[in-house]
Structure 1
Amino acid sequence: MMVDIDELLSHIDLNADDQMLAVRAALDALLVREQSGVVLADEVGCGKTYEALGITALLWRHFRGTREPIQRVLVVAEQALMSKWAREITSTDGEEGFQRYVSTADWKGFRDMLRNVEEIRRPGDGKGIGVVPRNRMYVVKPLLLTESKTHDASSVMRWLGQTVWDVVIVDEAHHFTGLHTKHSRVFFPKQTVESRRDGLFARFTLALTATPFQLEIKEMVNLLRIVGACEEDLDQIEDGLARYERMLGRFHNKRTFLPTDAGRREIVECLNNLRLRDASGGQRPGTPGLQALLRRYLIRNVKDQHHRGYALTEKRNGGYVARAFNKLDDMRPVVQESPLIPLEGEDTWVYLHLRDVLVDAQQAANKGEEARSFVAGDLRQCLSSYEQLEASRVLNKERLPRAVETRAALERLRSTGHVHPKIAALRSVVGGILDRQIERVRSKPGATLSKILVFNTLMYTAGALKAALEEVVADRVKPFVEEQVRAAGWAKPSAAQAAVRRALDEERRVTHDELRKEFGRDALDRTRVLLDASADEVPGDKMDLVDAMFRRASRHCAQPLFLLHLARSMKPSRGARPTDADVRAFVRTQVGDELRGKLAKIVRIFEDTEQGEDDPVEQARREWRYIDDLYAAHDYVARFDGKQASENRDARRENFNRPYAPLVLLVSRVGEEGIDLQAHTRYVLHYDVEWNPAKMEQREGRVDRKGRKTESEGPVEVHFFLLKDTYEERIFHTVMQRDAWFQVLIGSKRKALLKGPAEEDEEGAADVNVVEERGRMTPEEREKVMIDLRPFAPSRRSQKPTPRTLGRPR
């Protein structure tokens, strides 16, 4: 079969040139070069989800009508991301979801597949399948595909794992590459390289990851092994990466020499040769350059410019200020000179005393009296919060006298209301952000409060942060809401709430009338089974879908930030109170119309169950859960971590992306990847720092991505919180050093990396005649060493592939 890539691409348009280039490059690899998979490694926020679905759609089209049609598609995604995938695939709402790109009549067969999506979250999901279905998509949690007791107990799980799929899409694929992890068993059942042939298999595998390099070369190679890279290529890539990494290390040792130094220049030329000419460094004649080898399997779009500004939090003159820095600079002199967040008084005593306790724990472990303490972990708990430290294992060892003294000191601090220095700094920074935001909104019609994302990894600290920040946010937002409500003409917020309730009651009556007119008087009563999918407690037997959801919406619309949005949309008339008609018009556009449309869609879907079909029930319940999330009511500050059920996290995420509560979201590792949090967010606060720069990049990528409505305000502001002269400085230096090489190796931050040491964003801001700075690469050096994996249009448009051999390799 001839493959005309251009003709195939003409049937879909993702409305983004970079995404279409990625799709083209993937199709060239899969259909022309006959590879079995590719890695879509675009930077965070470039649209890998739609690229993967676009590639799948065009594969379906290419093989339509042949003996090898695309009929079974599996998406492997973490539980927190499953609902997002299902919504992107199934949504038919105008500007949302992938189906808008395949809306014409000639895509009907593929749209039928998109409608048949089933989420497999638990072993019992999907019971009754019996045989391998066709024209269906599944979204499954990774660990359900691994060999385990759960797996063995479920025929559905065995079927999912043993099927030879037409297309498998692996989200956040870097989680599957470390052979010591449970996730790796999806593709490497025995956690060995050789067992890949027995793992999850597909004709085509699309691995999605914004951070393909996780500091371990073997993990990068395993990522390529997942998508079926040939062993010869893998050997050359592994050897080339090792040589490249060693040479980058040599450059780091030479970084204090001037760029004119002969040794430094020699290293740069060696890196350039490894990258472009010979990845083996002359040891294997005929070996391509490392960049060419990686480009066979890796496709990576990068942003022209990252809209981020970085700052350290410093305590000066009794207050906290932000000190801007360039992330690619040598940070050691900056941190050494900075006061950061100092440990003072009792805080210093606790930190130093904990170090003594850890020495005691180590000595006790050596004598076999106690379990050994993990020093780094215990130090980080102390530097995070005293609530976290109190819960640590080392302080609960009764046989350690100094542990008892430390616990007593913590109790003393708590009794006096003492605040941990990092929490005090966070409170101050968040308060300052809100003060500036309130002034901006007050002076700018149509503006809304930008939101704040706080990353923290420790559970007890998350509780302490929520308690500390709730007070800070409420102290500022509550009086501002009251001010704006009075300015709109109401005497107090309760009067505005009463007007909203009246408007909602009218919208509820209209919705009842319209749905009963369209579907019949009994339709809403017959669909009460869907209430089981709601987190709402529904009293009585007569409440139908409309009553239940408008009851939910009434709590959502009573929150202060909804009232703020309402008040600022009203046009005050000489102090007169807004009319009920004005309020209803606002409520209709914000709530009523959307609810009516979604409830009608649910009833329409559920009506199909009268034909005896099972799938529409799950589809209707999925829509119901989405509405349930959309109209949840939250505090000013919310947690997004493992302490909440996934549906509660979904509700927090949905509302964080709307102009209502929560205003501050405290995110743990479960929210560092895959989810969109950018809509109204401008601030990313790293309360603690990860060792791995890839994880830091994932965090910041939750906000620095397409769809950020705060771009007109300026770049994303990223703040770091470090305690002076503590273990945190070491972590920060390590991650900053690793980040520079991480970006060079995967070709990110091209514009920032290529910028000269004297260049600034504003013309004339720096002296262009300044002597070359030591410790940083020059633009010429970076141009030579940066690996470029960006897709480009192939020179040959049509080729005839050789026949494909199907089936699991043996």
Structure 2
Amino acid sequence: MLPIEPLNLRAQQWQFLSNPDAYIKASADGGRVLAADSTRRQFDTAADILVRLNGSLGERARRGLLLADDVGLGKTAVAALVAWVVASAGEGRSVRILAPNDVMVRRWEAELLDHVLPMGRCAPHLDVRESRVKARKVERLTTGSIQVVKHSYASSDFNLGCDLLIVDEAHRAKGDQTCFSKALKRQRKHAKRILILTATPFSIRIEELQRMLSLIGAEEASSPVRAFSRILDDLYSGNTTRNPEVVAERLVGRAKAAIEAMAPFVIRHGVDDLPDEQHSFGTREDWSIPVPQASPSEEELILRMDRALRVASQEGAGRARNDPRFHVGWRHYDAESERLERDRIQLGEPAKSIVGNHLSAMGRLRREVGIHSKVAAVTREVKEVLQSGEKVLLFCHHHATAQELAASLHSNLPAITKHPAPAPKIWESAWNEALDRESEDAVDQELRRTFIRWLCGDLVRTQTWAWLGASPSALSDLAHSITTGRARGCDNAEYIGEAAMRLYGALIHSRSSREVLKRSAERLDLLPGANGTSRVLAVCEPSESKKEALIFVHNRQPDTAISVFNSPFGPDVLVVTDKLSEGIDLHRYCRHLIHYELDPSPIRTVQRNGRLRRVNSWAAVTGKGIRYAYPAFRGTRDHRVVQIMKKRIDSFSLLLGGVQDFDIDQVIHSDEQWRNEVIRIAKKRLTSSATILRAKRSTEYARTAPVGSLAP
């Protein structure tokens, strides 16, 4: 085991964390509104991390910790507080932060800088300065600095020597053979302390959690975790005639032992276990989207494709059989049919004739079935949600599926009024008055004019006019109406003008969005929703169809699309792949999420849900629940995939808790019924066990610490 070098921090240096209310007030003076209950819990967590890493208040110093708080609970904010204390407490300490991608690097930079003003007021003894943050810079780290770089930097030849290494979204290192995992193993000896952040420290195999524990020097917890893993394997592969009560009791015993062994090294809070914060997150509910049973024609289509690919593969011209994309849409199916038709001429007999017969029948059946049943069912449901004035977020796993779904939604959702009243000139004058900013330079004035042109487009002004009630009184002083009317017509939402200013600020402060805004002066259609006809936006590989071009984001940096969807304006439907499943906020004006297509890993499912269930969500603002939908195409592999995902999420929540279950159609198979009963009993008995992983407060340490142990 690697030796633990002292950090030599003093507990008094983070004393400000015991007064979160003063920090909340200081942040508000700087224009940042913090949720009180969540901030208090985050401050307790940051203090506990510092106590454990430093070895204060009677605790032994630990080489590393795993912060596994549920998605949306503010792990970034907690880690930023810890980073500032370590880096700015004097004596030349340094911090490195590894983030997964450019979007997250920018988010980390913003989070760190947001703490400068309130920490300057509440912790003046700490030398907190903007210049200490070295985002995206890869030169040798100077003392007292906080460096933020991408995960890939860990694989460089340069070592990650520092006092504290923070690894964000560390589940990307769960695979033993991934480049990132190997790099962390190699680099961990260069950091005095390691703080790992992930809501999902394991996915399908619990061995992934053991690798996480090894990275932070928690080898002593490995044996109990391994014992739990073995009994969980037995649940899914062992005798299903046993008494479920007896099996559940054994499972509970192993789970409790594993949790107790992890407790010194793991901190975790679940949203549903924090009643004082529920009002900030909003409630949640299952959203049932009925998808009809696959028709005989649809089943035959899938079966014939499987047979055709099987025959072609024997001749060296086949591809993946039983592709999951065949079960959730027809776009990839049609592309494969066309490829098979082209490749068929190269086949020998009888394969050539067999494949040709299948293709002929498949063509007839495709004309018969038309739109895919699952696509049609989800499109109908989204249409109903939009009629109630809400936004919808849909996740897909494959680009072809996302393209097909977005195209269907675009074609079938009701169009906006082509030329809504009042006229753009009236709106332009009103927005100029409402968003007046005299201090802007010439460049920013041009950007603001472009933004106002976007606000005056058909889609946005139709939306805004509807929120104002389309009344003569609103028109008489439109600028005043904009500043006093509520976004999305909700009494608790921000004012329309305030929302526009927040969106504009997000666009000009993002490098990529600012560039998009600059280019939009000549091509306004680069801004989502500017085309005036589509209420759908897709962030995936764009299709080759010119008719569909306007619904796709045509750049690799989705910051602009994220900012627009996170405002009340613009497209009401966002279709994305898992590129946007982690590290971003989409919760401000959306409480409907559809898992149209699932990734095999429950990590993705949990991360997706966290895009909406966050502090000050739209669900909390409206007082209505976040709705999660897992539509399944019954009678196909898609239905089985949803069942498997439920099982994997159940396995995860047994050990760490805090993961929301979801309902699916009743499982008929007796073995599955037995396993579900065992898990139900075990989860009920483990309800309170995961609470020992919560952060300790300083008063709890004070009660248990030996006399004279409160320093350093």
- Does 2:263 match 1:295? yes
The whole-number CA distance in structure 2 between the counterparts of 1:104 and 1:627 is: 35
Offset of residue 696 of structure 1 = 1.5
How far did residue 658 of structure 1 move?
Answer: 0.6
- 1:274 pairs with 2:247: no
1:295-444 maps to which residues of 2 (within 5 A)?
Answer: 295-304=263-272, 307-314=283-290, 340-344=291-295, 346-362=297-313, 364=314, 369-370=315-316, 373-376=319-322, 378=323, 380-392=324-336, 395=340, 397-398=343-344, 399=347, 401=352, 402-404=354-356, 418-435=370-387, 437=388
Aligned CA distance change for structure 1 residues 629 and 291 (closer, same or farther; 3 Å): farther
Return closer, same or farther for 1:174/1:503 CA change in 2, 3 Å cut-off. Answer: same
Q: Secondary structure at the match of 1:706?
A: coil
Q: Does 1:21 align with 2:44?
A: yes
Q: Does structure 2 conserve the Cα–Cα contact (< 8 Å) formed by 1:29 and 1:35?
A: yes
In the alignment, what sits opposite 2:17?
9
Q: Is the partner of 2:476 in helix, strand or coil?
A: coil
Aligned to 1:167: 164
Letter of the 2:425 counterpart: A
Going from structure 1 to structure 2, the CA distance change for 1:714 and 1:391 (only over 3 Å counts) comes to same
Distance in 2 of aligned mates of 1:387 and 1:198: 44
Matching of residues 719-730 of structure 1 within 5 Å: 719-730=629-640
- 1:71 aligned residue: 94
**Aligned equivalents of 1:134, 1:350: Cα separation in 2:** 64
Structure 1 residue 729: Cα displacement: 2.2
Equivalent of residue 38 in structure 1, options 61, 65, 80: 65
Aligned to 2:408: 468
Residue of structure 2 in register with 1:204 after alignment: 193
Q: Which residue of 1 aligns with 2:142?
A: 133
After alignment, is 577-586 or 298-307 more displaced? 577-586
Q: Which residue of the other structure, out of 556, 563, 566, is the alignment partner of 1:657?
A: 566
Q: TM-score, normalised by structure 1?
A: 0.68
Alignment gaps of 5+ in structure 2: 1-7, 25-35, 274-281, 486-494, 543-552, 663-675
Q: Name the SS of the counterpart of 1:310 in structure 2.
A: strand
Match of 1:179 in 2: 176
Normalised to the residue count of structure 2, the TM-score between the two structures is: 0.76
Aligned to 2:228: 241
Indicate how the Cα distance of structure 1 residues 308 and 134 shifts in structure 2: closer, same or farther if over 3 A, else same. Answer: same
Q: How much identity, in percent, do the aligned residues show?
A: 20
Bigger CA radius of gyration: 1
Matched, 1:454 2:376: no
Aligned equivalents of 1:200, 1:372: Cα separation in 2: 48
Q: Deviation at 1:675?
A: 1.4
Q: Output one character per residue of 1:370-395: Cα deviation in whole Å (capped at 9) or x when no partner.
A: 1664334x2x1211222112334974
The Cα of 1:311 is off from its aligned counterpart by: 4.0
Q: Give, in angstroms, the shift of residue 418 of structure 1.
A: 2.2
Q: CA deviation at 1:656?
A: 0.9
Aligned equivalents of 1:709, 1:7: Cα separation in 2 = 34
Instruction: Provide the residue aligned with 2:697 in structure 1.
Output: 793
For residues 127 and 360 of structure 2, what CA distance do their matches in structure 1 show? 66
> How far, CA to CA, are the matches of 1:427 and 1:514 in structure 2?
46
Q: How does 1:206-225 map to 2 (within 5 A)?
A: 206-225=195-214
Q: Could you tell me how far apart the structure 2 residues matched to 1:166 and 1:722 are?
A: 48
Taking the aligned partners of 1:293 and 1:622, their CA distance within structure 2 comes to: 45
| Alignment partners' CA distance in 1, 2:683 and 2:303 | 47
Query: Which of 603, 608, 617 is residue 694 of structure 1 equivalent to?
Result: 603
Taking the TM superposition and a 5 Å limit, the aligned residue runs for 1:422-571 are 422-435=374-387, 437=388, 449-475=389-415, 478-479=416-417, 493=420, 495-504=422-431, 511=437, 514-515=439-440, 524=441, 544-569=443-468
The C-alpha deviation readout for 1:501-524, integer Å capped at 9, x for no partner, is 23345678x64x544xxxxxxxx4
1:108 and 1:597 mapped to 2: Cα distance? 35
1:78 partner amino acid: N
Deviation at 1:567?
4.5
Q: What amino acid sits opposite 2:267 in the alignment?
A: I
Q: Which residue of 2 aligns with 1:521?
A: none
CA change 1:597–1:385 in 2 (3 A) is closer
Matched, 1:47 2:74: yes
Which SS does the other structure have where 2:299 is aligned? helix
Distance 2:94 2:355 in 1: 62
| Residue number in structure 2 paired with 1:590 | 497
AA aligned opposite 2:409: L
Mapped partners of 1:748, 1:629: distance in 2:
44
AA aligned to 1:140 is V
CA positional deviation for 1:430: 1.0
Check 1:718–1:239 CA distance in 2 against 1; reply closer, same or farther (3 A cut): closer
Deviations, residues 718-764 of structure 1 (Å, cap 9, x unaligned): 222222211122212222222222211112259x89xxxxxxxxxxx
| Contact 2:188–2:215 (8 Å) recurs in 1 | no
Task: Determine the C-alpha separation between the residues in 1 that align with 2:605 and 2:391.
Answer: 19
CA distance in 1 between partners of 2:371 and 2:496 (Å)? 44
In the TM superposition, what is the alpha-carbon distance from 1:164 to its structure 2 partner? 0.5
Q: Across the two proteins, how many residue pairs are aligned to each other?
A: 622
- Indicate conservation of the 8 Å contact 2:188/2:194, yes or no: no
Partner of residue 142, structure 1? 151
Relative distance call for 1:681 and 1:269 in structure 2 (3 A) is same
User: Would the aligned equivalents of 1:350 and 1:406 in 2 still touch at CA under 8 Å?
Assistant: no
Shift of 1:595: 8.4
What does residue 324 of structure 1 align with?
A: none
Gaps in structure 1 of 5+ consecutive residues? 91-96, 121-125, 148-157, 188-195, 258-262, 277-288, 315-339, 438-448, 483-491, 516-523, 526-543, 603-618, 754-772, 805-810
